Each structure stands twice: as C-alpha cells, then as structure tokens.
Amino acid sequence: IKQVAPAVTIVGSDRQSATLSQAQAHQIVDEVTTDFSKAALAADVIILAGPVSVITANLAELATLTLKPHVLVTDVGSTKQSVMRAARPLQQQGITFIGGHPLAGSHKSGVLAGRANLFENAYYLLVPGLADTAAIQQLQQLLRGLHVKWLTVTAIQHDRLVSQISHLPHVVAAALVNQTQNTLADSPLGLRLAAGGFKSITRIASADPTMWTAILLNNATQITSGLQGYIDELTQVQAAITAKNEPAITRFFTQAKTTRDALGPERLGSLPNFYDLFLNVPDQVGALADVTQRLAAARLNLVNIHILEIREEVDGVLQLTFDSAATQTQAAQLLAAANYQIVRKS
Ligand SMILES: NC(=O)c1ccc[n+]([C@@H]2O[C@H](COP(=O)([O-])OP(=O)(O)OC[C@H]3O[C@@H](n4cnc5c(N)ncnc54)[C@H](O)[C@@H]3O)[C@@H](O)[C@H]2O)c1
Ligand SMILES: O=C(O)C(=O)C[C@]1(C(=O)O)C=C[C@@H](O)C=C1
C-alpha cells in the first residue's frame, strides 16, 4: 500500500507494543496503537491480520462498534468458513466484509518477516460473501502493489482446497519432526545428521504454533478428513513394503513423481515467466554479498534470491530468480566466469 498509495495513512494495531515499535521504526505503518477499537472507529479500511481465532474475535468486537458506514473490512486469515460466519453480525449492519487469503508466506512470523514482494505472483483468494463488485474492486485497487493473481472462491471451496495444500502439509511436517525427535532421542548424532531431504520436507514445521493451532481448530473437519486419507496412503505403502510388493512400491513413487514434476520447480507464485538460476555457493562469509554485488555491478535485476540449502562446511545452493531469459543468461555467464558452479537453469 505504501508503495502505490503513499498518501494513505496506515495505523498498525497489535497487542504487543514491541511489534508496533518495530513496524513504525521500519516505516511499515505511520501510526500505532494497542487500542483496536480506537483504530477501527477511525478507519476507512480495516485489514484483520492476527491468528484466525483473533480475527473472529475482532469481527465480533467490530459488530459492537459504530464504524464509519462506508468502511471496508477484510482479513488475511488462512481459513474462511469460520471467518465468514463471524462476519455475519457485521454484514447484517450493512458493513462490507470481504474474506481474503494471500496464498504465500513463510514459516517465519513477526513484522520483520514481511517484505513488499512477499505475495508477488501468488494467488490471493477472495470470498466476497455479500460484498458487491465495487467493494471488491476497491480492495484490489488498494492492494494492487502486491501484484497477486486474484481468484474468487466460496468459503467451502477455500477451506477444502487449502486444507489439502497447506494445512495438512503443516501437520505432516510437524508430525515427522516430532516422530524423528522421539525415535532418535537416544542418539547423540540424531537430528544433526538431517540432510536436505529432511530439511526440505520439514521447513514449515518451524511455523508459529499459535497461528497453526488456530488454523487446525477453525478447519477441523476438512483437516481430519485429509489426515485420514493421508494415513490410508501411508498404510497402503506400509503394506506394500511388508509384502515386498516391488511393483506397488514403484507405482507409489512413480505416481507421486509424475504429479510433483508437473508442478515445476519452486518459484515465486506459479507464473511460468520467471527464470531461475541455481548455483553452488561456498559456505564462506561474504559469498552471498559477492554474488549480489556482481549482479548489481552488471545492472542485472534480481526478482528474488532464495537460499535453498547451506550445510556446514559444504557448498550451499542459491536460487536466483530473474524476470527474463536474457537476464538469466547474462547472469549465468557472469557468475560462471567468476568460477561459480551453475547447478541448473529453469
Ligand atoms: N504466515 C503465513 O505464511 C501466512 C500466509 C497467509 C495468511 N496467513 C494468515 O495471516 C494471519 C497472520 O499471520 P502472520 O504469519 O502474519 O502472523 P504473525 O505472528 O507474524 O502476526 C500476527 C500478529 O498478531 C498479533 N496478535 C496475536 N494475538 C493478538 C490479539 N489477541 N490482539 C492483537 N494482536 C494480536 C501478534 O502480536 C502478531 O503481531 C494469520 O491468520 C495466518 O493464518 C499467514
Ligand atoms: O511457505 C510457507 O512457509 C507457508 O507456510 C505459506 C502458507 C502455505 O502453507 O503455503 C502458509 C499458510 C498460509 O495460509 C498460506 C501460505
């Protein structure tokens, strides 16, 4: 919002004053307050961004206030049916509410984990409920700096899809970490041996427990049903291993590989027009700075930079994302000439 509409005054409200000071110090917000209702009464647009359980409580509180009649209320919560239910009393007063959910983010939380391009090219799901086209356009106009792909869904569709592609994976990652920790508790090396595979599948186990507890409680039916399907899948492969059923095991992996390969490499959102370069970087102080300085000196514009893996005393893999094939090629030539090993281009 700050980039595209600098004249808008953004008031940040949070229960933690340390969070508010950080947000203000980094000029993410103009004003701060721990008094939610005071901020709400003065607002033209309200974006609720606490854990889902806090969003539903916020909606109940908003219904007790006399808000500006033309206020637009929205949220960014990861579940939508309970949020839309909690918004009903507000809607009954004629206040516009649009459910929202940007489908991107990270396992990090806190105000400094955000960045201006966090949602670039990601899907941003909208559940308009009773909101009209003008209100949806107003929200999209305000958030145009996110450069997202808007998609309208119902709350039921939302919770079903997201339970499978986001909520279930978080449960699986956390369960795997806990089970590994328990199994290797008696081994001094234990988790220290965890290599790339374990780390890639469990990155999201580092996500915020408060946020995820709220999500599981607010999408319980869908998540428990997805979990049952997942348990069934595990039971089938367990039976195939016990029976030494080689074709069944190979089928299990082949089916998964075909589906996963079709998703393409990891990239921002899923727009195909990004060009990635994966290169090995030595585990040395300043390696990252050296790469970015070389690109900057050659005026090669980076869309994103992502450290995929840095293992102690071993090279790490850096994913550099460019917005054109020409920039990608120039960057590859420049870095190869500086003795960086290009692992792959995609
Ligand atoms: N992290 C992600 O990847 C992601 C992506 C899309 C949507 N979401 C959703 O966005 C919302 C925020 O997630 P986040 O990752 O930004 O979390 P976060 O922890 O970074 O931010 C949540 C903020 O809410 C504040 N808060 C908590 N309880 C509060 C209360 N009772 N009153 C006032 N403030 C309170 C916290 O102090 C914190 O500053 C959640 O609903 C989450 O489900 C998260
Ligand atoms: O990439 C991550 O770390 C995330 O967990 C982001 C993620 C997801 O599951 O994809 C998490 C929750 C949100 O509601 C949307 C996005």
203 and 252, same structural domain? yes
Residue 321 has a pLDDT of 83
16 and 141, same structural domain? yes
Number of domains composing the chain: 3
Which of ligand 1's atoms lies nearest the C-alpha of 105?
3
Residue 273 has a pLDDT of 57
Supply 38's token pair.
């005071």
CA 104–ligand 2 middle distance (angstroms): 5
Residue 132 has a pLDDT of 96
Predicted TM-score (pTM) of this structure: 0.82
223 and 149, same structural domain? no
249 and 186, same structural domain? yes
Beta-bridge mates of residue 126: 100, 152
114 and 97, same structural domain? yes
270 falls within a domain: no
142 and 55, same structural domain? yes
Which of ligand 2's atoms lies nearest the C-alpha of 170?
9
Give the angle 215-221-222 at the CA atoms, nearest 5°: 75
101 falls within a domain: yes
| Domain stops at, among 116, 135, 154 | 154
166 and 149, same structural domain? no
Q: Which ligand is nearest to the CA of 162?
A: 2
Rg of the chain over all Cα atoms, to the nearest angstrom: 23
Q: What strands, in cross-sheet order, belong to the sheet with 275-281?
A: 304-310, 316-322, 275-281, 341-345
Tokens 């005071």 sit at which residue? 38
Q: Using DSSP, state whether 5 is helix, strand or coil.
A: coil
55 falls within a domain: yes
Residue 257 has a pLDDT of 95
Which of ligand 2's atoms lies nearest the C-alpha of 107?
3
What distances in angstroms separate CA 341 from CA 279, 309, 345, one per listed residue?
Answer: 6, 15, 11
Give the integer Cα–Cα distance in Å for 71 and 241: 59
Which of ligand 2's atoms lies nearest the C-alpha of 108?
3
Range of the domain at 228: 158-262
15 and 96, same structural domain? yes
Which residue from 204, 206, 211, 219 has its CB within 8 A of the most atoms of ligand 2, so it is best to mutate? 204
170 and 143, same structural domain? no
197 falls within a domain: yes
What is the DSSP code string of 10-72?
A: -EEE-S-HHHHHHHHHTTS-SEEES-HHHHHHH-SEEEE-S-HHHHHHHHHHHTTS---TT-E
pLDDT digits (tens, 9 = 90+) for 16-60: 999 999 999 999 999 999 999 999 999 999 999 999 999 999 999
Q: If you take atom 14 of ligand 1, which residue's CA is the nearest one?
A: 109
Within the chain, which residues score under 50 in pLDDT? Answer: 267-272, 312-313
Q: The CATH number of the domain where 216 resides is what? A: 1.10.3660.10
Q: The CATH number of the domain where 113 resides is what? A: 3.40.50.720
267 falls within a domain: no
Residue 235 has a pLDDT of 98
Ligand 2 binding residues, C-beta < 6 A:
78, 103-107, 166, 204, 207
Give the integer Cα–Cα distance in Å for 11 and 4: 17
225 and 169, same structural domain? yes
Give the integer Cα–Cα distance in Å for 328 and 335: 11
Q: If you take atom 3 of ligand 2, which residue's CA is the nearest one?
A: 106
